[in-house]
Structure 1
């Protein structure tokens, strides 16, 4: 007996992710947009803490930015898209294809630090120059991005850990 899959169509809950090139372009654009967030948050932190030198309160500023980034990404991911994701027509959804909750978005944010923490922790004891640290960091980012090729749906592994997926979305009509 042969079952027809033409009527059912492709499984909407198991699409592959947008292309790696598109996701990385979105990632780079997101990084550029984060400069504005860092600028405003840094100004706010410096004003509220009366920090006069950029090296004073450096750990406090880093912790503050970690929280601000968490708020930014958790808020927008729970709505489905950041500005960069809207530009590149990418949406973050749960495994069921629905919008993710704020706790799930927060889990995704924490898991997404796998992009940066392992190489930074590896170079910290060696006090390497900034150039060498950047080469190691960018090498890790490239490896981490390419590892998505081994996921069955080509998702980033932090999405798999958080129970989320990136999917293509149609642009909104204007």
Structure 2
């Protein structure tokens, strides 16, 4: 989940640039004038961002947390599979947003509903046999821990230079 929050922080910059680009190209003076077109534009920009990076294996946040997206056989995913994963990942947000719209909920009520749904959706991963998120299972992808070979070599080399007193010691809990 920490990677997810970090990804959200990075997406703020993507949204800012996309909004600026959309406003400049469409000559929109008020953010509410072309709201639905802006939302569609940002949806496409998010899709391009995630499909591009997932097809390469990792987003920037995933690199930071040593996470890689692969198919069920451990191979890199195709752009088609990355697109399917992107579309299915919207199950984190679309059901509560749709319900909020249909029920005419206020922004605060919709926010509470969305947070509740996200928590439930995350908990539902515990019921998957391999404890993965359902959108990954349906897209035929999975997240794995992965360290780049060069980084691993550097860490091993650095580990060899440590003094014996600097080595971490496992503690006995008993």
Q: TM-score, normalised by structure 1?
A: 0.84
Structure with the larger RCO, 1 or 2 (CA within 8 Å, 6+ apart) = 1
> CA separation in 2, counterparts of 1:34 and 1:40?
10
1:130 offset after TM fit, Å? 1.1
1:156 maps to 2:136: no
Give the match's secondary structure for 2:131.
Answer: coil
> CA separation in 2, counterparts of 1:37 and 1:93?
24
1:71 maps to 2:48: yes
Which residue does the alignment assign to 1:92?
69
1:126 offset after TM fit, Å? 2.4
Which residue does the alignment assign to 2:30?
53
1:81 offset after TM fit, Å? 0.5
Unaligned runs of 5+ in 2: 155-174
Give the match's secondary structure for 2:73.
Answer: coil
Unaligned runs of 5+ in 1: 1-23
1:116 offset after TM fit, Å? 0.5
1:120 maps to 2:97: yes
| Pairs aligned (count) | 151
> CA separation in 1, counterparts of 2:120 and 2:10?
23
> CA separation in 1, counterparts of 2:102 and 2:133?
28
Q: TM-score, normalised by structure 2?
A: 0.84
1:170 maps to 2:154: no
1:170 offset after TM fit, Å? 1.9
CA RMSD, aligned part only? Answer: 1.0
Specify which structure has the higher proportion of helix: 2
> CA separation in 2, counterparts of 1:88 and 1:134?
28
Deviations 1:44-68 (A, max 9, x none): 0000000000101000000000100
> CA separation in 1, counterparts of 2:103 and 2:131?
34
Which residue does the alignment assign to 2:109?
132
> CA separation in 2, counterparts of 1:89 and 1:138?
26
